[in-house]
Amino acid sequence: MLTEYTTPGSIVVDDDETLYSLLTDRIARTGEDTVIAARKLGPGRWDDITTGEFHELTREVAKGLIAFGIRKGDAVSLFSATRYEWGVLDFALAAIGAVNVPIYDTDSAAQAERILNDSEVRLAIADDRERFDRLDSVKDHCPSLRQILMLDGNALGALQGFGVTVSDEELDARIASVKADDLATIVYTSGSTGAPKGAELTHRNFLSITRGGLECLKEMIAEGRPRLLLFLPLAHCFARFIQYCSIGSDYGVCGYLPDTKSLLPDLRSFEPTYLLGVPRVFEKVYNAASRKAGAGFKGRVFLKAAEAARAWSRMEQAGERPTARQMAEHLSYEAAVYRTVRGALGPRIKYVACGGAPLDPDLAHFFSGIGLPMIQGYGMTETAAPFAATRVWDNVIGTVGQPAPGGSVRIADDGELQVHGDNVFRGYHNLPEKTAEAFTEDGWLRTGDLASIDDEGRITITGRKKDIIITAGGKNVSPIPMEQEIVKCPIVEHAVVVGDNRPFVGALVTLDPEALESWLPAHGHAADMPLADVAQLPDVAAEIQPYVDRANATVSRAESVRKFVVLDTQFTQDNRCLTPSLKVVRPSVNRVFADDIAVRVYGDRR
């Protein structure tokens, strides 16, 4: 195993280039009449936007921002779900050198207030009345905030109106003044290990990783006429990155989906060629297919087909040739199962890409085995999203691939993964001490993740330094592998292993309400049974126990889960146990469910 690796090659970003250059460069290559984006008009209805139309609106909105008094370096917040106008505003802000400070659409008024004040936002733009009111409720406590606009109230039209007084020459002068190393955005981390911090990312940071993505993942995001249906929050760097890749490619089309209430019909009507999601999205796709098959004959066929798909993928990974019998079996499952699962993601789907949290290898093998290669990426807000990714031609499941050309990774003496490259952020906003802590003395970013690097430079993430549990007996336990086994149970939504300074390892388990809708009647219970009652059912514990046993089989007895408890509530963003990107916030879980851990797991008296 290597301890340091640099991917051959380099990504060049000129000093005068900015994120706005992605748009103008595309026009120079392909003209103004190519389709660049799609806006949802209603069920099954999409409005195609040409590159020229997108560019013209971007310039008009940029003029409006100038007329409003937004100067280079001023902060502007977007408090909105993923939608077409978000993309326009993002490029308009980049064009004039303003700093985009996104706020997750699920953030509370108090969280928004903290961000607005920390980054001294001058203008905030919300998408709907509900989020507008959230901002308005704290406006008096935000001295720098001059105005709040609302997209549903024709904010873009208002900015276009303001901009008629600004000439093309004035706009072009502003555009020319912006450089690659200027601040492009402040993205507040979702806080899985503490209070959110504002990561300062430059145009060069995002341009380098975008061009790296276009080179390393060109089969998925650049070749042919790729179509992306984007539903992840654009406040997250992962979604921003893929938006830039789509718009920065020659013929990519980015569809913006504000919500996932009608996701499956939207997938069928938009017909994406690739999708970007977090593990929970793909877990739900798999579980939905399993539930649809049911528990009878079709259910048994699905389970056999799923296991065959995983075996097929592992065989491909090992470079083995299938036997005639295996090929016949694969063809039969293709007709009976695989084609239907792929079709649920759209008739033209070719690839799926996953990031944002640890991915269960079995899930990746399933999708790969049914003919949907799952590309896995690894990154942080501090690296402008994916620092590394598997390649279509080298998609080794269980790893997160290699860095983009010129990117470097190394393993420190304590096993921590450290990274170095042009996409690494410049520091935390207003937090010089935290910035200093984030870097080594020789300038490498500390990721906080534990990892290994194979001889080809592929990275395997093995855990997080701060997640390591040390039992009262001094045993170091990495919880993530065991949690990944437990959540394979169809009725489990999340599992969190506990045991720091305790005599043994335990676990908290939450249930998946969607899965329970079909599971409860199949086991003789009312489908509408309250979750508090469901959590107490012996049947539920019996359903989960085999998955806990499988998790325990992978570790020593000292590391095994001796007792688990089923919670009668869920981890949510409201109780701070989930980030907006659906990562579990372990410190919050330990705090919010402290009584359950103490009393129900360990029998403490309270």
pLDDT band at 558 (very low <50, low <70, confident <90, very high): confident
- Phi, psi of 558, rounded to the nearest 5 degrees: -65, -20
Provide the CA 521 distance to its chain's centre, in angstroms.
34
Nearest CA to 197 out of 118, 80, 255 is that of 118
Residue 157: how many other CB atoms lie within 10 Å:
13
Residues facing residue 228 across a β-bridge: 254, 274
Tell me the Cα Rg of the chain.
Answer: 24
Pairing mode of beta strands 75-79, 99-103: parallel
**428-455 mean pLDDT:** 96
Q: Specify the residue for token string 């001058």.
A: 122
For residues 543 and 511, the answer to whether their CB atoms sit within 8 Å is no
How much is the pLDDT for 606? 57
Instruction: Write the pLDDT tens digit of every residue in 294-311.
Output: 878 899 999 999 999 999
* Enclosing H/E stretch for 495: strand 492-498
Query: Residue 192: is its pLDDT beyond 80?
Result: no
Residue 354, exposed/middle/buried by CB under 10 A (0-12, 13-18, 19+)?
buried
pTM value > 0.85? yes
CA dihedral 206, 581, 47, 59 (to 10 degrees): -30
- What is the average pLDDT score of the chain? 94
What span, in angstroms and rounded, lies between the C-alpha atoms of 262 and 287?
Answer: 17
CATH number of the domain located at residue range(s) 30-178+217-277 in this protein: 3.40.50.12780
What span, in angstroms and rounded, lies between the C-alpha atoms of 493 and 77?
Answer: 33
pLDDT band at 320 (very low <50, low <70, confident <90, very high): very high
What span, in angstroms and rounded, lies between the C-alpha atoms of 587 and 222?
Answer: 40
Contacts of 546 (CB under 8 A, 6+ apart): 489
Residue 241: how many other CB atoms lie within 10 Å:
24
How much is the pLDDT for 420? 98
Residue type (1 letter), 567: L
How much is the pLDDT for 194? 58
Instruction: Write down the domain spans for the chain.
Output: 30-178+217-277, 468-601
What span, in angstroms and rounded, lies between the C-alpha atoms of 488 and 482?
Answer: 10
Instruction: Write the pLDDT tens digit of every residue in 55-99.
Output: 999 999 999 999 999 999 999 999 999 999 999 999 999 999 999
The domain defined by 468-601 folds into GMP Synthetase; Chain A, domain 3 (3.30.300)
Count of H-run helices and E-run strands, the chain: 23, 26
Which pair of tokens denotes residue 94?
């980049």
CA angle 386, 93, 256 (to 5 degrees): 60
**322-331 mean pLDDT:** 94
Find the range with the poorest average confidence among 188-197, 262-271, 384-393.
Answer: 188-197
For residues 270 and 38, the answer to whether their CB atoms sit within 8 Å is yes
What's the first-to-final CA gap in the chain, in angstroms? 49
- The CA distances from residue 571 to 156, 460, 496, 514, 595, in Å, are 36, 27, 10, 15, 15
| SS3 at position 10 | coil
**28-57 mean pLDDT:** 95
Would you give the DSSP letter of residue 601? I
Query: Residue 338: is its pLDDT beyond 60?
Result: yes
What span, in angstroms and rounded, lies between the C-alpha atoms of 583 and 156?
Answer: 33
Percent of the chain with pLDDT strictly greater than 90:
82
What span, in angstroms and rounded, lies between the C-alpha atoms of 47 and 44?
Answer: 10
For residues 4 and 409, the answer to whether their CB atoms sit within 8 Å is yes
What span, in angstroms and rounded, lies between the C-alpha atoms of 445 and 247?
Answer: 29
Contacts of 213 (CB under 8 A, 6+ apart): 221, 241, 242, 245, 386, 389, 404
Long-range contacts of 599-603 (CB under 8 A, 24+ apart): 600/565, 601/498, 601/502, 601/506, 601/507, 601/508, 601/563, 601/564, 601/565, 602/502, 602/503, 602/506
Residue 184: how many other CB atoms lie within 10 Å:
28
Nearest CA to 430 out of 141, 237, 198, 205 is that of 198
How much is the pLDDT for 190? 64
Find the range with the poorest average confidence among 223-227, 449-453, 466-470.
Answer: 466-470
Would you give the DSSP letter of residue 8? S
Residues facing residue 413 across a β-bridge: none
pLDDT band at 467 (very low <50, low <70, confident <90, very high): confident
Domains 30-178+217-277 and 468-601 share a fold: no
Residue 43: how many other CB atoms lie within 10 Å:
9
pLDDT band at 369 (very low <50, low <70, confident <90, very high): very high
CA dihedral 330, 335, 341, 344 (to 10 degrees): 150
Instruction: Write the pLDDT tens digit of every residue in 371-391.
Output: 999 999 999 999 998 999 999
What span, in angstroms and rounded, lies between the C-alpha atoms of 202 and 179?
Answer: 9
pLDDT band at 195 (very low <50, low <70, confident <90, very high): confident
How much is the pLDDT for 454? 96
How much is the pLDDT for 191? 54
What span, in angstroms and rounded, lies between the C-alpha atoms of 263 and 268?
Answer: 9
HEC string of 92-117? HHHHHCCEEEEECCCCCHHHHHHHHH
What span, in angstroms and rounded, lies between the C-alpha atoms of 281 and 57?
Answer: 33
For residues 222 and 275, the answer to whether their CB atoms sit within 8 Å is no
Instruction: Write the pLDDT tens digit of every residue in 156-181.
Output: 999 999 999 999 999 999 999 999 99
Which pair of tokens denotes residue 138?
């704290």
For residues 426 and 202, the answer to whether their CB atoms sit within 8 Å is yes
How much is the pLDDT for 465? 85
**464-487 mean pLDDT:** 86
